[in-house]
Every structure is written in structure tokens, then in C-alpha cells.
Amino acid sequence: MTHLALSRISKDFGGATVVQDFNLDVKKGEFISFLGPSGCGKTTTLRMIAGFETPTTGQIIMDDVEITNKAPNQRNVGMIFQSYALFPNMTVAQNIGFGLQIRRDSKEAIKQRVDEMLTLINLEKHANKYPYQLSGGQQQRVSLARALANRPQVLLLDEPLSALDAKIRVQLRSEIRAIQKALDITAIFVTHDQEEALSISDRIVVMYEGKVEQIGTPFEVYNFPETRFVANFVGSLNTASAEVTDPAKGLLNVGGVQFVTASEIASRKKGEAIRISIRPERFSFLSEHKKDNVLDCVIENITFLGSVVRVQVKIGGASFNMDTFNNPFLELPKIGAKEQVTCSKNAVLVLDE
């Protein structure tokens, strides 16, 4: 059953359309990420759900109640901000209890709930500290507890991890996900970090220039990008121009070399120009395992990335990146060496323009 529905939402700012025809149904307890580059409209969409912006057209429905024009303080949504937005004049406990005070809960009820929340975020010992006495990660956990204390119907997270350093970011995102699952709360998470979105979400909404490019699970979005933008934005990707040589057999000419694809191209005409994409990790050296495409190549460059080694190869007239796991016991080929690489026909995706 749909818990939150955004129907044909659009938003104009002074004649410029920043969100166009946005449609999304969110189930109860689902973790949805809005992923896209800066200015793609993801935060604006989140702010429309929070009530800080009013849609130019469209409807927002939460639990069968239309909230499109409700004031932010009349919607039961919790919001977490990139800058934490803790009240500097209040202690951790006062921050967490603020929303409950506004709701006029009894003192005992507030204390009990604040204690519960402090336990949830493992900051029981910091209840009487002021925000400036906490680290960034601790402040964001307090912000999470404050948002959850009111038992919101939906939790909105606006790039909550962007201001934190890399290790804390990874740790806190796991904590957020664990708490969200434990409380079975619906969450909408805005990020421009694809790794964050892929690791934390049930579904990802990829946005570009105000439009939804693709909605799908992390697996679908990463492995089966529906548009060229999604393919380029999510993960590393090789793209190349190709010409259809045999639509029925899925044969393509890429830079003078024949590739076979499992993508549906039967409806394309022979000689039609298309674009294909292949993830770097879908290539492997022929010595490992032979797949549908066996391709002669020349090693152009090798870049060491820690657990992964990125090898740039020239296949015919086109250059591709290939990712291979770093194995200290295997010798890498030399730059300029002639090798053979292979990839399956499923790896060769035809992109919609």
C-alpha cells in the first residue's frame, strides 16, 4: 500500500522549472534515495515533501491525506539537515525533547522518550552537553534522534552525511539504515554520492535537470541503466559509438571491432548509429574465463586504485577502462603489450539517448 505519493509534481522558480512531472509511490518502511548532481531538483523535491516549498503543480499525498498545501509544522515529517541545525542554545536532551514540548507531551513522557532516543543513538552520557561540545557525527546523530522523537510518518534526510569525514560517513550511514529498519520508518534520503545511495537504499530515484531518469533498486540502477545519464552518473562506465551490423544476431561494429550484445536491437536498422556502454568490471583478461566477446587490445595505461587496478585498453579505434581486482601474486601486463580481453554479451548495453 502506498504510504507517500508524489503525483505529477513540478516546481518553477521565477520562470525556471527545477522539477518536472515527478511521480513516485513510496511504501511504508521503504528507504528511497534521490540521487543526482547539484541542481537536479532532488533537494527541492524533498523540501516540497517537508512543506518548505509549495509545488507549482501536482499533489503530495501521505496516508491518503493530501498535504500539498499544508504548513511544514502541520505535517508529521522529521527532517535532518546537512548542517545538523541543532538549536545552539539547547542541550542535547532539550534538542531531542523540543518537538515533544511543542506537542505538549507531559514532562514524564518527554523524559522517557528523550532517554529512549539517547539510548538509540548511544549518546546517553552527552545529554547535558551543548551542540558545540559534540563532534560532527555526534551532532548528526542528535539531529536524527530529534527528528525521530516525534514519531514522524516520514523521515527526510537532506544530504545528512556530506559534512562528515569519510570514515564517520560510512559508519553513520549504516547506523541510519539500521535505525530506519528497526523503527520501520519511511525515509527519503537526498544525496549526490552514488556509493551512499547504492549502499543504503531500497530504491533509488536518479534525477537530472529536474526530471526522473530512472527509479529502481540499486541493483537495477547500477546494472541496467535505462538512460545514458544514469549509465554515466552511477558507477564508472565506458561508452562508445557503435553501428548495428546484424540486428537479429545482436552484432555491432565498435571502432572496427565486432561486439555482440544481449540488448534488444532487433528493431534497429542495419547501419544505424547507436551508443553502447560497458562497466569496467565486466571486462576481464581472456586467461581468466572466455566469454561471448573476445577482443584483441593494446594496454594503454595502468592505474593502481588500491583494491582495484584500472587498466586502459584500446580495442580497435576505441579506448575502454577495465577494472580488475588487485592480486599481488599476478603480474600485470606492461603498457604497450598486446593482450586479449573478454566480456559477456549481457555486459554490452545499448543506451537510450
Residue 78 interacting with other proteins (CB under 8 A): yes
Stretch that binds other proteins, among 44-52, 173-181, 253-261, 298-306 (CB under 8 A): 44-52
Q: What whole-number distance in Å separates Cα of residue 113 and Cα of residue 154?
A: 18
Query: Which pairs from 103-108 meet CB under 8 Å and 24+ separation?
Result: 103/150
- Least gap, CB of 30 to other proteins (angstroms): 20
Spell out the alpha helix ranges (H) of the chain: 42-50, 92-102, 107-120, 136-149, 166-183, 194-200, 218-223, 228-233
Nearer to other proteins, 86 or 114 (CB): 86
Stretch that binds other proteins, among 20-28, 49-57, 168-176, 241-249 (CB under 8 A): 49-57
Nearer to other proteins, 102 or 109 (CB): 102
Residue 163 interacting with other proteins (CB under 8 A): no
Q: What whole-number distance in Å separates Cα of residue 138 and Cα of residue 123?
A: 8
Residue from 103, 107, 249, 270 touching other proteins (CB under 8 A): that is 103
- Least gap, CB of 49 to other proteins (angstroms): 11
Residue 150 interacting with other proteins (CB under 8 A): yes
Stretch that binds other proteins, among 81-89, 190-198, 210-218, 222-230 (CB under 8 A): 81-89
Residue 151 interacting with other proteins (CB under 8 A): no
Residues 6+ apart with CB under 8 A from 329: none
Residue from 2, 54, 65, 87 touching other proteins (CB under 8 A): that is 87
Residue from 132, 166, 182, 329 touching other proteins (CB under 8 A): that is 132
Neighbours of 349 (CB within 10 A): 22
Residue 98 interacting with other proteins (CB under 8 A): yes
- Least gap, CB of 95 to other proteins (angstroms): 9
Nearer to other proteins, 145 or 234 (CB): 145
Nearer to other proteins, 77 or 251 (CB): 77
Residue from 73, 106, 307, 327 touching other proteins (CB under 8 A): that is 73
Q: What whole-number distance in Å separates Cα of residue 210 and Cα of residue 10?
A: 8
Residues 6+ apart with CB under 8 A from 24: 4, 5, 6, 32, 205, 212, 215
Residue from 5, 61, 85, 309 touching other proteins (CB under 8 A): that is 85
Residue from 147, 161, 179, 295 touching other proteins (CB under 8 A): that is 147
Residue from 9, 26, 32, 79 touching other proteins (CB under 8 A): that is 79
Residue 99 interacting with other proteins (CB under 8 A): yes
- Least gap, CB of 91 to other proteins (angstroms): 8
Q: What whole-number distance in Å separates Cα of residue 314 and Cα of residue 248?
A: 27
Neighbours of 209 (CB within 10 A): 15
Q: What whole-number distance in Å separates Cα of residue 154 and Cα of residue 158?
A: 13
Q: Cell 518502511 appears where?
A: 29
- Least gap, CB of 44 to other proteins (angstroms): 14
Size, binding site for other proteins by CB under 8 A: 27
Q: What whole-number distance in Å separates Cα of residue 348 and Cα of residue 240?
A: 10
CA-closest candidate to residue 78, choices 165, 192, 183: 183
| DSSP string across 210-274 | TEEEEEE-HHHHHHS-SBHHHHHHSS--EEEEEEEEETTTTEEEETTEEEE--S--TTSPTT-EE
Q: Which residues make up the interface to other proteins (CB under 8 A)?
A: 50-52, 71-73, 77-79, 81, 83, 85-89, 98-99, 102-103, 130, 132-133, 146-147, 150, 156
